[in-house]
């Protein structure tokens, strides 16, 4: 069984808590500086007044005159998510976080350790913050487990199909264009999507659609991708006056990275990933995660990956921080003694493709896959699928 913990509207709750506002009032997440002027998640009171996520700020204020906008605080959300993840890992679980409000882990072995699935789920619920309306569900595979967590139920293997069938098709992790296509075809529920022929799904929606189709049937892969507990290393720089000049921020970031790389070298480790954080003058925050292609302790290489992200900050900054996962090996990036040009090119091509997919999604690197070689129609003989180097 896969156990999933769910905290509805967790980023909104964190922002409201930081702003010291009341949850019962009509409140919505405001836009991040530099992003489109649309609102994010909203409280039930705002929802009852007709406010919906994705609505323009002006239209939302027209629908609900009493609506308050709270600045998103992704830095505080990341800290809270890490805290919950660490609590669940304290139960012995290998946890995979989802979207800032869900955490999944395999219950194999933990059921006997904790004395049964009900006890494990109760302890999982206790690991969530008080007052967050936390729920816990379980199912044989990850997608049904996440849906079970929304209702706080346990779904066994013989109940998955019937449980998923009436749920809305909008729950599937598909691009907006694919959801519009499903809507135009009159496919509103997961049961209707699951009834489609495999070849038709692959032809019209591609590999992403095929994975979503398997989820709708409760046949998605049972394995998770749990995080590796990081070895955090943080450096912070406060500014007496808000700083908005990009060159000044780049110099400050280089100084932080040099300090972190020096500390990592002193421990005999290297940096695998960084989280860049900034506190803006209006009380909001900005955060960006940088995953390095290879673990390294070279400040120049780390700066090349990190400094371009600073241009995305949309407001003057009062605090700049960099938190690194210094869990890499001490010999990261060591070159081989015997040159093997072909192997090196293949390795670099595979690493480049993996980096593009991590940044832009699987649909950005595709190749032709033969599906019906007997067909006379080219569009039925071939389909676009993930390209493997």
CATH number of the domain encompassing residue 104: 3.30.70.270
**210 and 116 share a domain?**
no
Alpha carbon distance 133, 59 (integer Å): 29
| Cβ pair 69, 39 in contact under 8 A | yes
**47 and 138 share a domain?**
yes
Domain that holds residue 173: 165-216
DSSP-based three-state secondary structure for 317: strand
Amino acid 163: pLDDT? 93
**281 and 302 share a domain?**
yes
Alpha carbon distance 93, 128 (integer Å): 14
End of a domain among 216, 251, 284?
216
**152 and 169 share a domain?**
no
| Cβ pair 217, 209 in contact under 8 A | no
Adjacent-strand bridge partners of 236: 321
**160 and 237 share a domain?**
no
**128 and 276 share a domain?**
no
**271 and 367 share a domain?**
no
Amino acid 26: pLDDT? 92
**70 and 133 share a domain?**
yes
Host H or E run for residue 3: strand 2-6
Q: Tell whether 330 is covered by a domain.
A: no
Amino acid 155: pLDDT? 93
Angle between helices 74-89 and 10-19 (to 10 degrees): 120
Alpha carbon distance 135, 152 (integer Å): 5
Which two structure tokens, joined as six digits, stand for 336? 């081989």
**132 and 245 share a domain?**
no
**128 and 187 share a domain?**
no
Q: Tell whether 285 is covered by a domain.
A: yes
Alpha carbon distance 134, 4 (integer Å): 11
Alpha carbon distance 260, 108 (integer Å): 38
Amino acid 331: pLDDT? 54
End of a domain among 156, 185, 216?
216
| Cβ pair 332, 296 in contact under 8 A | yes
Which two structure tokens, joined as six digits, stand for 177? 């264009």
Q: Tell whether 332 is covered by a domain.
A: no
Q: Tell whether 221 is covered by a domain.
A: no
End of a domain among 190, 216, 242?
216
Q: Tell whether 334 is covered by a domain.
A: no
Amino acid 209: pLDDT? 85
| Cβ pair 237, 256 in contact under 8 A | yes
Q: What is the CA radius of gyration of the chain?
A: 23
Q: What is the mean pLDDT of each run of 10 residues along the chain (389 residues)?
A: 93 90 90 81 91 89 90 85 90 88 90 90 92 91 92 92 92 87 89 89 84 89 78 86 88 91 86 88 85 85 89 88 82 54 74 76 74 74 69
Q: Which of 220, 209, 198, 205 is nearest to 143 (CA)?
A: 220
Amino acid 293: pLDDT? 79
**28 and 146 share a domain?**
yes
| Cβ pair 140, 1 in contact under 8 A | yes
Handedness of CA 149, 150, 154, 160 (dihedral sign): negative
Angle between helices 198-216 and 176-184 (to 10 degrees): 110
Amino acid 122: pLDDT? 93
Q: Tell whether 225 is covered by a domain.
A: no
Count the domains in the chain. Answer: 4
Angle between helices 246-266 and 299-306 (to 10 degrees): 140
Q: Tell whether 119 is covered by a domain.
A: yes
**151 and 183 share a domain?**
no
Alpha carbon distance 192, 117 (integer Å): 32
Q: Tell whether 73 is covered by a domain.
A: yes
> In this structure, how many other beta carbons lie within 10 angstroms of the beta carbon of residue 146?
21
To 5 degrees, how large is the angle CA 229–CA 233–CA 236?
135
């Amino acid at each position: 069984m896969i156990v999933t913990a769910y905290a509805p509207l967790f980023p909104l709750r964190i922002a409201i808590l930081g702003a010291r506002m009341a949850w019962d009032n009509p409140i919505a997440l405001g836009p991040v500086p530099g992003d489109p002027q649309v609102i994010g998640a909203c409280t039930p009171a705002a929802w009852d007044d007709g406010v919906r996520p994705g609505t323009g700020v002006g239209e939302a204020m027209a629908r609900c005159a009493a609506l308050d906008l709270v600045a998103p605080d992704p830095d505080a959300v990341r800290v809270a998510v890490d805290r919950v993840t660490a609590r669940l890992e304290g139960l012995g679980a290998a946890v995979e976080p989802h979207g800032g409000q869900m955490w999944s882990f395999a219950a194999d072995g933990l059921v006997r350790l904790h004395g049964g699935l009900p006890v494990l789920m109760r302890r999982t619920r206790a690991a969530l913050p008080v007052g967050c309306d936390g729920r816990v569900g379980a199912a044989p595979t990850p997608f049904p487990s996440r849906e079970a967590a929304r209702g706080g139920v346990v779904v066994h293997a013989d109940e998955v199909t019937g449980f998923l069938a009436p749920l809305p098709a909008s729950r599937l992790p598909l691009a907006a264009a694919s959801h519009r296509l499903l809507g135009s075809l009159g496919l509103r529920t997961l049961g209707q999507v699951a009834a489609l022929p495999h070849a038709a799904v692959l032809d019209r929606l591609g590999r992403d659609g095929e994975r979503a189709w398997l989820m709708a049937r409760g046949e998605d892969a049972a394995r998770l991708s749990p995080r590796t507990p990081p070895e955090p290393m943080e450096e912070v720089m406060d500014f007496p006056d808000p700083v908005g000049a990009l060159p000044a921020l780049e110099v400050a970031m280089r100084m932080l990275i040099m300090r972190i790389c020096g500390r990592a070298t002193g421990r005999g480790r290297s940096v695998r990933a960084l989280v860049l954080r900034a506190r803006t003058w209006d009380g909001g925050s900005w955060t960006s995660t940088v995953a390095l292609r290879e673990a390294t302790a070279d400040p120049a290489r780390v700066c090349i990956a990190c400094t371009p992200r600073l241009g995305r900050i949309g407001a003057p900054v009062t605090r700049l921080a960099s938190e690194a996962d210094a869990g890499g090996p001490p010999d990261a990036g060591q070159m081989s003694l015997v040159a093997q040009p072909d192997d090196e090119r293949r390795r670099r091509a595979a690493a480049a493709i993996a980096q593009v997919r991590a940044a832009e999604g699987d649909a950005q690197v595709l190749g032709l896959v033969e599906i019906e070689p007997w067909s006379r129609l080219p569009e039925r003989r071939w389909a676009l699928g993930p390209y493997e180097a």
